[in-house]
Amino acid sequence: MPKAVVYYVRYVDYISIKFGRVAMYSIFLMIAVLLLGAISRNILNIPLSWTVEMAQFIITAYYILGGAYSVQLREHVRMDLLYDRFSEKTKAKVDVVTDFFLVAYLVTLLIGSISSTSYAIEYGERKFSQWNPSMIPIKVIMVIGIVLMLLQAVSTIFKDIAKSRGNTIS
């Protein structure tokens, strides 16, 4: 594989690992927010209206920002009725084909998320609730997460092409 492709794969994998780790540790932030809400409501008798929605935003960021890391580790859901019977090269060829479907899906998601984010920015979209938070931050995180997954999917295509030729990119 050309050096530019190898550098791309290494750089994107590095970025996916870093964002995946940040997402992984954000679960503790979500637990802390929910714990704060429970303590303030049940012990201090001061209900905080924002804790549940903040936890929802954090778990959404966790899910979206961890997507690229999941794609990199190949920990996503896979239906393998026939797949396990294939040789490694055949598996790589099948993965290349399915990776292109993943890229098409992610491009569609990216177009929709950019449209949704620009709408939120233009009109100052807020969630209709007692807390009434702005939707802009979570929509920006959504775009970032989808871009990261798209970059990682392209990296995975390069790795699968190399594997189908009997090489590896690490």
Which phi and psi (to 5°) does residue 115 adopt? -60, -45
Q: How high is the pLDDT of residue 115?
A: 97
pLDDT tens digits, 70-111: 999 987 776 777 888 888 888 889 889 999 999 999 999 999
pLDDT exceeds 90 at position 9: yes
| pLDDT mean over 133-162 | 95
Percent of the chain with pLDDT over 90: 74
Report if residue 106 sits inside a domain: yes
Q: How high is the pLDDT of residue 54?
A: 95
How is residue 135 written in tokens?
A: 């939707």
Report if residue 170 sits inside a domain: no
| Separation CA 109–CA 95 (nearest Å) | 20
Which residue range is the domain that position 77 belongs to?
3-164
pLDDT tens digits, 106-134: 999 999 999 999 999 999 999 988 889 99
Residue 1 carries which DSSP code? -
Report if residue 112 sits inside a domain: yes
Q: How many domains does the chain have?
A: 1
Report if residue 169 sits inside a domain: no
Report if residue 97 sits inside a domain: yes
Report if residue 135 sits inside a domain: yes
pTM as predicted = 0.89
Q: How high is the pLDDT of residue 80?
A: 75
Beta bridge partners of 134: 126
| Separation CA 109–CA 122 (nearest Å) | 20
